[in-house]
Amino acid sequence: MKKIPITVTKKPFQELRIRDTELRVYSSGRIDRFHKRWDCWRIVKVKPDKKGYLRIEIDGKTIRCNRIVYYAFNRSTFDLFDSKVEIDHKNRDKTDNCITNLRIATHGQNVRNRKTRSDNRCGEKNISPVYIAKGDYWCWKITVQDNGKKHTRKFRAGSGPIPEILPPIPQEVKETRNDMLDKHHGEFANYGN
Using CA atoms, how far apart are residues 22 and 35, in angstroms rounded to an integer?
8
pTM: 0.77
Kindly report, residue by residue over 91-122, the tens digit of the pLDDT.
Answer: 989 999 999 999 998 888 888 888 888 888 88
Report which DSSP code applies to 115: P
Neighbours of 53 (CB within 10 A): 19
Mean pLDDT of the chain: 87
Can you tell me the mean pLDDT for 144-171? 91
Identify the helix (H) or strand (E) that includes residue 178.
Answer: helix 171-185
pLDDT at 5: 58
CA nearest to 78, candidates 67, 66, 93, 63: 67
Residue 24 CA: distances (Å) to CA of 19, 44, 64, 81? 14, 10, 15, 18
